[in-house]
């Protein structure tokens, strides 16, 4: 299968401030009264893949945020136009974020999220630790209970290979150091 040839790299943001009693930026997106819009197919796929992984550990679903989706779209476009689809620098970013860089073939939203969720195999909940050389943070952000909103986008750069950058934002952000996802 073609997907076996796809190379992927994953990256998650960690919030380091919790030991100082830092409180995540207030999530006042004014989303409360929105009528549920008919989501584009890609949005539904991102959402469904996240919510299946969350349900598997008893965590409630995320809902799609147009504001987060717009923010990821802008960033993905910037990375495509200026950075050859490399990872965005999201140090000190206000949202939680997962990124996936892939090369060698098309990557669907489902494939991207499933790549993050596979890090579950290396996450030790009891010890809240990750096996060496793994990046469990992408998984723990997917299932972070306090995160309630999701927005994602993808950008593709054509070079000798097909490079795809997938970015998801989460609000409120997860991955507070020393805390468990759920
Ligand atoms: C998101 O972007 C669309 C298209 O540019 C725009 O119509 C919409 O108002 C934006 N939504 C938010 C919440 O920013
Ligand atoms: C990312 O941005 C931060 C500040 O926003 C900066 O300190 C850091 O050097 C940047 N990292 C890279 C790899 O450009
Ligand atoms: C979730 O949020 C509550 C309050 O908003 C906070 O006290 C708690 O530490 C958070 N837990 C995690 C795992 O982020």
71 alpha carbon – ligand 1 mean position (Å): 9
Q: Is the pLDDT of residue 4 over 60?
A: no
Helix or strand (DSSP H, E) at 74: helix 66-82
Look at ligand 2, atom 11, and give the residue with the nearest C-alpha.
Answer: 89
Task: Report the residue count for the chain.
Answer: 182
Residues 61-72, mean pLDDT to the nearest whole number: 97
**Mean pLDDT for all residues in the chain:** 85
Domain range 41-171, CATH class: alpha beta
Look at ligand 2, atom 13, and give the residue with the nearest C-alpha.
Answer: 89
Of 177, 175, 137, residue with least CA distance to 10: 137
pLDDT tens column, 23-51: 233 333 333 334 455 689 999 999 999 99
pLDDT tens column, 131-157: 999 999 999 999 999 999 999 999 999
More reliable by pLDDT, 100 or 92 = 100
pLDDT tens column, 19-28: 322 223 333 3
181 alpha carbon – ligand 3 mean position (Å): 9
Best probe residue, ligand 3, of 140, 144, 146, 171 (max atoms within 8 Å of C-beta): 146
Q: Are 172 and 96 in contact (CB under 8 A)?
A: yes
Within 10 angstroms of residue 156's Cβ, the number of other Cβ atoms is 15
- Between CA 85 and CA 104 the distance in angstroms is 13
Q: Hey, is 102 helix, strand or coil? A: strand
- Between CA 182 and CA 135 the distance in angstroms is 18
Beta bridge partners of 12: 98
Ligand 1 first shell, C-beta below 6 A: 66-67, 70
Look at ligand 3, atom 5, and give the residue with the nearest C-alpha.
Answer: 146
């Amino acid at each position: 299968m073609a997907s076996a040839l796809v190379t992927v790299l994953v990256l998650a943001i960690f919030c380091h401030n919790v030991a100082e009693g830092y409180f995540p930026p207030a999530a006042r997106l004014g989303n409360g009264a929105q009528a549920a819009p008919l989501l584009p197919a890609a949005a539904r796929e991102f959402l469904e893949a996240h919510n299946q992984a969350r349900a598997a550990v008893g965590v409630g679903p995320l809902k799609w945020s147009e504001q987060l989706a717009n923010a990821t779209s802008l960033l993905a476009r910037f990375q495509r136009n200026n950075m050859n689809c490399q990872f965005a620098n999201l140090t000190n970013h206000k949202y939680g974020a997962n990124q996936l860089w892939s090369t060698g073939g098309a990557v669907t939203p489902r494939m991207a999220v499933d790549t993050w969720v596979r890090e579950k195999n290396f996450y030790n909940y009891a010890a809240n630790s990750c096996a060496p050389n793994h990046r469990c943070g992408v998984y723990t952000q997917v299932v972070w209970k306090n995160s309630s909103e999701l927005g994602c986008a993808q950008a593709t750069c054509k070079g000798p290979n097909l490079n795809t950058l997938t970015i998801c934002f989460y609000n409120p952000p997860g991955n507070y150091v020393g805390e468990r996802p759920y």
